[in-house]
Every structure is written in C-alpha cells, then in structure tokens.
Chains A and B, each alone.
Chain A
Amino acid sequence: MSEHESAKVQAKEKMLEALFEYAAACHVENIIAENPIEDDSAPDFALPPEFDRKMKKLIARHDRKETFNKIRKRTVRFLSKAAIFLLVLFGSFTIVVASVQALRVKALNIILNIQNQYTSIQTKDENNGQTKQATEQIPPNWSGYVPNYIPHGFKVVKTEERDMLNAIYYSNEQGQTIRFTQYRSSDTDLRVDTEDATVQNISIHNSDALLAEKQGLVSIVWKEEFLFSLIGEVDKAEMIKMAKSIIRK
C-alpha cells in the first residue's frame, strides 16, 4: 500500500473513532437527562436501612483489605531499598577499611586484642578451676620438682598444682616473696622482662639458664626435663643456690 493510501485508511479510522466518541458523548448526555437529580429522592426507590448497613460493612471490609495490601507493598518497597542501602554502605566501608592501611591495621588490632582478652580470660578460668592449694608445706602427694634449699627466713606459703604447671610460693616476715614454677607443657612460651635489666647467662645442672636482675627482682629461667622459673626478691647468689637445689619429689 502506498503512503497516501495508508494515510487515507488511517484518516478514515480516525473519522470513525471521532464518530463513536460523539455517539458515546450523546449517550452519556441521554443518561444524565434520563436521571435528573430531583428524581433521586423519590420514596419508591429508597434503599432499606438494613441494605445500607450491609453495604457500609462491605465498604469497611474492602478498605481494611486495601489498607493491608498498601502497607504490605510499601513495607516491601522500603525494606528492599533499605537492604540495598545497607549493602552499599557495608561494601563501601569494607573497601575503605581494606584500602586504607591505617584503618586496616586498627581494625585488625581491634580483632586481635579482643581475641587476646578472650583467650586470657579463658585461661584464667580454667586454671582457677583446677588449682589445688596447700599452705605452709609441700603436699605429700606433690608430683613435681621442689627446691631443696630455701633462703633463710622464707617458708612455703602456697602451692599450686595445675594441668600445665606446678608452683610453690615462699614468703618471709618482711613480705618478700619467691616463686618457683615448673612448667609441664612442652609448648610453653615464657617471657622474661629484660628491658633495662641486668641479664646474664648461667648454668644450672649443666643446662643454660637466663638470669635477669631488675629493680631488686631476680628471675632465673632454665630448662632441664621441664622448663623452670625462679623469681624472687632475694640476693642473686641465694637464688642461684635455690635453683641448683631442685630435686624431684
């Protein structure tokens, strides 16, 4: 079909449509004329009150349903937008933390510190639960090493027997203390505060030992069958003598 022929066809269709529009408008006009307002209140066609009540209940029920549907649609739209927003926010935050070194270090340190604290607390609790204590004397069923020499004036004030270690606490009347510890576990990481301390290597029972002196506190750490530590507020010579005196009970 050529262009002018199709244009004529389209024009005819528009004319027909206009004709129908005119006809429809006439029809609506007729309806309005047939139903004047003054007829509306004619008593013959009054609806009974019970029908009115029924209709109003119907309208109310319909509207409750509509309200619920609207709320549901709006909530879903809102939640999906909120979810997308949170996702974008979280993603951005992760990217920023990962790409900025200072933030990354800080974030990791926070995580590690939390873990350290948690681990620390756990260890304390376990040990407390299994600590056996005795006062003034080494218990008869003591299963570890004990120093055979105790510096003058010191006596046993406490012993502890735990899964991972045994410890004997000594004290004198002046309140000075010595602690002897035997570590059972082969996976012990013992640290000695050697910062600003006088440190020397000595030998205890042919094993290398570390002796550190700092602010009146003498620490000796060495390994034989087990890892041992002796820490006290006593003269270095006395401490060395005490360390060398340990025997298995």
Chain B
Amino acid sequence: MRKSRVVISLLTAAAISVSTLLSGCSADSGKDGVTTVTMLQYKPEAVKAFEKIEKLFNETHDDIQLKIESPNEAMTVLKTRLIREDYPDIVGIGGDMNYSNFLDADLFEDISDIEVIGEIKPAYLKMEKELELLPKEGTYALPYVSNAAGILYIKEMFDENGWEIPETWSDFIALCDEIKKTGTDLLYLGYKDTWTCLAPWNALAVGLAPSDVCSSVNAGKTTFAAEYSEVAEKIKVLLDYAEPNPYAYSYNDACTAFARGQSAMFPIGSYAVPQILSVNPDMNIDSFTFPANDKEEDNVLNSGIDLHFSVMKGTKNKEAVYEVLRFLFKDETVQIYLDEQGGVPCKEGDFELPDFLSGMEQYIKNDRMSDFHDHHYPSEMSVDAMIQTYLMDKSNNSAQIFLERFDKEWTRYNRDLIARVKKYEEGQK
C-alpha cells in the first residue's frame, strides 16, 4: 500500500511540475492595472512598420501595453496556436481563404459597433463580405491596406527605348516581341516558389473570368474548364518571354534579378516592391494593369485586401482592443505603415499613393478592381503547384489535363462546403 502511494505521489508531483513548466510559457504577466493586448500579424516584411506603431502606442498609453508579434510563416504559427487554443487578441492577416475558414469556424468577434468602420471605403467592406463562405451577419474584419498586382516595370528602361505601356493583350505581345528583338530579357519569373505562379494567374483571371467563379462552381452553375481555359492558355504564352528554366529560381531570386535590371518587367504584385527596393534603393519602378483582354475597357485591376484586423472571439479586454484598433486607423498610423510598406490604404482620406502604383491609379480611383481569385481557393488544394505542374507539362493537351484536374480536385477539396452551400440555398428557398 505504502509503496504504491509513494509512486502515485511522485508521479503526481512530476506531472504537476511538468504542467506548471508548460503553462509558465503562456502566463499573462502584466503589471497591476496594465492590460496587455497581444497582436499577431502575418507580414514579416512589415515588422519595422509595426515596431514603430507598437512603440508609439505604448508611449502614449499608460494603461494598455501592446505587443505585436510578426513571426515568419505566421499563418502556420497562428494555426498551431489555434490548435493549442492559445489565442492572441488581434490578428492582422490577409483577406484570403484562411480568413474565410477562420471566420467559418466562428473564431472572430463581431466588431460592427466600432466607429472606424464608417471611415473605410465601402468597396473593401464589400470584398470582405464576399470572403464569407456562407453569408453572415455583422463585421468581422477591418480592411487596412490592399495591394494591387499586375506588371512592374523599370521606368528608365521603358523611357529610354520609347516603349509604350500596353493596354491590350495584342499590344502586350507586340511589345514583348519587340523587346525580345533587342536582346533584353523581359520577364523574370521565380516559379520555383509555387505561389509566384499565382501572381500572373490571378492578374489574368480577374480580367478573363467572372469574379464569383468559385461560388458559381460551388453552386453547380459552371465549371472551371469553361471559365479558365483562356487564362490557362495565356499564362503559358508568358513562358516564351521569360528566362530559360524559370523553375530554378525562387521569388527572392526573381526580385533580386529584377532589382538588378536583368529583366524589363516582372509580373507580380505591389507587395514585392519593398523587397526589390531593399536590393536596389535607387530603382524607379512603375506598374501597369495586366492587359489580359483585347479591349482595354474589359481589363480589371487585380487588387485584394493585403492586411486586415480581426478580433479573436473571447478576448478579455474588448475596450483595450478597440483602443488599439482606433489607434491603428488614425491617419498618422496608416501613414507610418504606408511609408514603410507601400500599398493602397482601405481608409478614406488623402493618402499619397506610392509612385510605383501611379500606372494603376486610374483603375484604383474608378474602382475597376477585383479580388485575387486564389483568395477563394482552399490552400490544401495547392492550386499554385497545379499551375506549376501545368506550365512544366509540355504535352499538347496539357491545358485540358490541367483544367479537368482543376474541376475534379475542386469538388474533392470543397465537398463539405458544396454540401453546406446546397443546404443553405435550400434553406433560403
């Protein structure tokens, strides 16, 4: 008897010491009267901007301490923390499929009662709504900055050679042929990182396919084979004008090559500019909307929410969290972010657009924008890798294989959602 009691007490002692060790890591250590608000944001490249914002906030607030974490691979970090149920108070993530899934899993607080919503451009609030898998009451995210994707180009190179900005697909191809003749490399593609394949894909898709293609497919109204055939065809044409073997080079390699002037154009989003400038700070970059169509008026700028803030459900300090959000949406704070990172602010107001977006300005002002299609693709389906596979496939019917696979895998990866959409629509009737 006694023996076993000793064993049990020792085992419990060990168990307790282990568990205190573990919980020690996540303990909320705050001074009396000071509320700590933790925020996790997913853009490691924006760490400097957020360090400034954090410092400024903590200097002006005695009762709230703001802690901003900007880890690498933040999405994975965040998901791992969600699995452990260790939630930050605020998350700053992008308006993509991850957000849709988190929202669908009921992880976010309804924040429709915060005043700053009134200062946000309605187009972006609408974009947020479209990210809901099933329509939901309330507001769950405050769009902060959006980005725009298309083609970045080196301004001096275009000016020197008298090249004109193409407005239609045939102009674009003509320009590419012309540049090719001069012996300059014109596109540098970093297709080793699969997601880079999505940049031209999205930019073409917004112009060539309807913006609600994913939900239409989910509702059984159309197929990707029908909607994406032109996108698939045109993305392959780009390979003729790229460096040999683009699958050897990563996104970083491509940014560096473009920064060194090894290519005239780079089909990527504005989010790449800070990295390019870090290699070559004196570079004069401008951009234009991807001319996907043969009529200029059909072209649409690819723009989506790059960063928005959501409040995690069950946060203990809602008042303090709101104070942080109000601070983030002050004009001065937004400007700090824009100065560091660039991008298009989602807030109404007189913010200076960065120079590298001047080629897209008309589209932004006239609201000719459409969200990234991949924001609606489930990440586990790895559409980016499927596109890479398709681009590497040299057989004659590669487009057909790819599109058939797209439709087949889509129904497999989305079957739970498709079933729920069906149920929901039947309930609506």
A and B held together in a complex: no
Interface residues of A (CB under 8 A from B): none
Interface residues of B (CB under 8 A from A): none
